[in-house]
Structure 1
């Protein structure tokens, strides 16, 4: 039965979780994920999609980029947004608990049944790492879904990499200016301090990488040394965060 009453807290937590996952352009009633969860929480796909766009109107990343979302955000929406910012770990735990109620049950395997190798579709529950997923969504959009070093454009192979680590300072966890869109390989190198960026946003290689002689090292790193990264003027990486990375993470300075 579809609800016409005020949104419950659980329904709003589902909506916030979906908002952290879905790109702005996919928040519409024909999206299969929205349809699936709308049915589970007793709302229409249109109502859930509208709620996501209302939540977008509270997101500074959206409003600072010139978009507004809808203007019907409720006081309950605003309170949840404040809760997420004030205590992201507690908020995420609550979202995880609510989303777990809607995960499809794990089928019980009968050892006597023959192995089934046929391909079957399955519903995959939405992951509920609210903060990290919202950060990823913001950073990939800021970099037009491309690795800022190589230009690789497949989101499956891209990471929203924190410049100042997630645990270093909670104030910057969701700030897109504390992020770089990198390929899996370059994210690993950046995280381990094998690469960094100078004040001109040019790639700097560690001595360790410069000593490598393989074709792979040349193609993935050496040929990009000194190349300025692609970046959004509006959400360009913060020099303060890059300076932190150079001083505290880049291995040549340790």
Structure 2
């Protein structure tokens, strides 16, 4: 298992894509890539995975770039279309090639590019496991790594369900490093892997909001038409307000479409747990 950085030299730019061969994307997933045009700062794209096919010693990943997924770039003259990244594992290293098809077709952009592949060092949970002097048994290792992989796909599906890119659902923070894909129904309480990876069973939250939500110190009171209002445990309201989280703040999930009803079910379950927690004091009176 390894993670790779793919540097694609297109005709007018260089694009960077990160691929994890232990967690390949699936059709419908949302990915991010970075592209640098000469003389400009890197641009972040949200791209949709159209399909992933494997066989005959190769894996093809087809990505679609659209204005709809990148509203911040819609008014800029960037090319839109699809790219097909072909991965070919070798004896010593991974090889890759990429092909761009502009939409509408444009010979100034269409073409094939060789890809510079760099293997990235293990990070996070997997890196910690590999670094252990006395590694966990195979069952524990598989469970932990699977949890890590599940979180990756889960985050992608939450972002896709919400259709707002990498944005905190409550604070509207857009710094990816501060955002957590938070399960509404806890991972350990889910009845199936489908629930664990259901994009409707999640919120992308700033890390401090995620902590409050995960510990049922913050709940979202259901209202009409898939709207919810923030309710905070009485013992944390004052401190939470200093972090910009206040009672009565509105969360609107009416745009979730086909996901809205499932989302509402998960949220009502969480709010019931919040109400039980809010009825108890966190701190003893001195």
Q: What TM-score do you get using the length of structure 1 for normalisation?
A: 0.51
- Whole-angstrom distance in 2 between the partners of 1:243 and 1:133: 25
Deviations 1:39-74 (A, max 9, x none): xxxxxxxxxxxxx5xx633x5x57xxxx67147566
**Which residue of 269, 274, 284 maps to 1:244?**
269
The answer on whether the counterparts of 1:163 and 1:178 sit within 8 Å (CA) in structure 2 is yes
User: Alpha carbons of 1:124 and 1:71: their partners in 2 closer, same or farther (altered >3 Å)?
Assistant: closer
CA root-mean-square deviation: 4.0
CA distance in 1 between partners of 2:120 and 2:182 (Å): 28
Is residue 130 of structure 1 aligned with residue 153 of structure 2?
no
| Residue 233 of structure 1, CA deviation | 1.9
Residue 159 of structure 2, aligned match among 140, 160, 172: 140
* Higher RCO (CA 8 Å, separation ≥ 6 residues): 1
Unaligned runs of 5+ in 2: 10-14, 31-47, 56-92, 94-118, 127-144, 281-286
Alignment partner of 1:153: what SS?
coil
Q: For residues 154 and 186 of structure 2, what CA distance do their matches in structure 1 show?
A: 12
1:149–1:230 contact (8 Å) kept in structure 2: no
Tell me the residue number matched to 1:217. Answer: 241
Where do 1:67-216 residues align within 5 Å?
Answer: 69-70=50-51, 72=53, 123-125=120-122, 127=126, 129-141=148-160, 142=162, 143-171=164-192, 172-200=195-223, 201-210=228-237, 212=238
Note the C-alpha offset of 1:209. 2.5
Q: CA deviation at 1:202?
A: 1.9
1:61-88 superposed Cα distances (whole Å, 9 cap, x missing partner): 57xxxx67147566xxxxxxxxxxxxxx
Is the 8 Å Cα contact of residues 159 and 199 (structure 2) preserved in structure 1?
A: no
Distance 1:27 1:136 in 2: 24
SS of residue matched to 1:31: strand
Corresponding residue for residue 26 of structure 2 = 56
The Cα shift of 1:249 comes to 4.2
Query: Secondary structure, in 3 states, of the residue corresponding to 2:205?
Result: strand
Question: How much does 1:188 deviate?
Answer: 0.1
Q: Residue 180 of structure 2 aligns to a residue in which SS? A: strand
User: Partners of 1:160 and 1:71 in 2: how far apart?
Assistant: 24
Q: Distance in 2 between matches of 1:130 and 1:71?
A: 17
Larger relative strand fraction: 2
Alignment: residue pair count:
165
Q: 1:231 to 1:150 in 2, by over 3 A?
A: farther
* 1:195 Cα deviation after fit: 0.6
Unaligned runs of 5+ in 1: 1-12, 39-51, 75-101, 103-121
Q: Would you say the 8 A contact 1:148–1:231 is kept in 2?
A: no
Identify the residue that residue 81 of structure 1 maps to in structure 2. none
Q: Contact conserved, 1:246 with 1:253, CA < 8 A, in 2? A: no
Query: C-alpha displacement at 1:253, in angstroms?
Result: 5.1
